[in-house]
Chains A and B, each alone.
Chain A
Amino acid sequence: MPWEVSREFFDRAFIAVAFLVTLGAAALIGEAREGRQYRTDPTVGAALDELRLMPNGISGTPPEIYFALGKPYETTAYDLSQGKRLYSWFGCGACHGDGRGGRGPSFLDGWWLYGPEMVSIAASIRDGRPHGMPAFRDKMTIDEIWQLAGYVQTIGAYKAKITAPSRNDDKQTRPAENRAPAAILFDEGPVGPNAVQEPSH
């Protein structure tokens, strides 16, 4: 029965092709895996340092290299997780709590005193802001500042990002960072003594 034989052949061929396609897809995904660089190229770092803010210190233009790199600090899980680690390492929680604020302003309430743009947040961390925000210029490298800025932006993001930082090692004291928008969960308006804090330019 030649028909039976050829059908068996087709079945086998189908399985073989499906196997090869799966293998190929796995290889492609593996190849497209997000690269991880632990130390930024010094020239890239120098370029990342060139923030241009508006005269009032709110918003501005990110360095061109930021777009050339594909805006990694907002979109890669590694950078966001690294930002989360930096948040605790550098004691941000001492003033900003778990993101709900304390002595410093809240991130979760979605009220950004200097705007929600990455460039504003990075500038706030790097150069400090009036009313108590210290400058971290000498304490953190510029790519660490960008990583932290990406994470801070995620805490009070208006819409959810596709990527998320790593889970909490400690107890959850508030919803995870990648839910959105923040306002639905913590829409309290500017909280605490920081309502008076405003740009002093």
Chain B
Amino acid sequence: MILDEQTFAQLSNGLVYSAIAVYALAMLAYAAETAGRMAGARVAVTGTVVADSPSRSRLPGAFGTSLTVLAFLLNLGGVVTRGLAAGRVPWGNMYEFVLVCALAAGAAYLAFLSRRPVRAFGVWIVAIVLLALGLAVTVLYTPAGALVPVLDSYWLVIHVAAAITGGGVFTVGAVATGLFLVRHRQERRGTAQAPRGRYAASLPTTRTLEQVAHTAHIFAFPIWTFAVIAGAIWAENSWGRYWGWDPKETWAFITWVFYAAHLHAQATAGWRGVRASWFALAGYAAFLFNFFGVNLWITGLHSYAGV
């Protein structure tokens, strides 16, 4: 077999489809783990709610993590072969951007998992990654190829890589924030017996969730800031102005300002915790809209990024 661009392109597609299949299995395993944890939590709440309730069996969770690692590696392989097929960095269009963003979210989750008890995130992260990859191969797929001249710049490597990394870590932050809100409601109301409360009671404590969210946000926020600045420098180099309120720039700005509001709210008495969390979720929503909404519905100078 001769390794040419065509082979790499096919290999990349095969690896991405395999990653989707393995992620689907990982989601099943994590779902089984969640069910086990909820059963454990019900036992635990008969007394008081215990921190980080022990699951009845750790096996499905460990299995889910192993599958996630495998799927992550397949995703990585898919990205690398895609780059070899196109002969450039593999983040030149929407399909590739989603592929690499899914990779970044997976990496951020696994990095957190090695330090914190965040396996309860697994089912959500894997679901999001699965959804993203599913959209990528069905709606956004673009055959591998060279870039249009305006994208042919080393700023593409820097600017887009930073945006992707920021987005991946923001994803973990958003999941942690969402679960924090669920868990916080349950802790305040003590509704551990209701089916929804039982799920909440099986989550890590609000303290852990808040710490993970905070770590993710303060890690991703400077990266996002860098992505915006690098984008501005590229824009100056390409269009003659560093800021022109192009829809893509505007939504990057909105994302940044919402996260800035979140960080300020976290340092404000009375806003810390629940209220601050909504700003972080608004920031993540703006990030998602910037990618899907702006690319698909609004025409602007970034439109050549193409579907």
Q: Do A and B come from one complex?
A: no
Interface residues of B (CB under 8 A from A): none
Interface residues of A (CB under 8 A from B): none
